[in-house]
Chain A
Amino acid sequence: MKRTMQKIAGFIKTRLWLIAMNLAATTVGFILADLCIESNVRLRLINTDNIGVILSFVSAVAATSLATSVLLWHIRKYKSPSILSGLCSPIPTKIKFADSILLFVCKPDDAEVAAGDLLEELEKVKARHGRWYCNIWFIWELALLVVAKGRARFTKSVFGPLVDLWKRKSS
Chain B
Amino acid sequence: MSHTKLSDRELKVLLAILRCGVEVYAPKIRDKLREFENEALSIGALHSALDRLEQRGLVESWMGEATKVRGGKRKKLIKVTGEGQIAVSHAMHTLNAMAEGVLGGDGAGVLA
Contacts and interface: CB of A to CB of B under 8 A. Distances in A.
Q: Do A and B come from one complex?
A: yes
Interface of A: 91-92, 95, 99, 109-110, 112-121, 123, 141, 144-149, 151-152
B47 A149 contact: yes
Contacts of B51: 152
Interface stretch (B14-22, B63-71, B85-93, B100-108): B63-71
A144 B71 contact: no
B2 interface: no
Contacts of B27: 117, 120-121
Contact of B44 (A91, A95, A113, A141): A141
B42 interface: yes
Contact of B45 (A92, A99, A146, A148): A148
B30 to A, nearest CB: 7
A118 B43 contact: yes
B12 interface: no
Interface string B42-80: 111101100100000000000100100111011110000
B73 A119 contact: yes
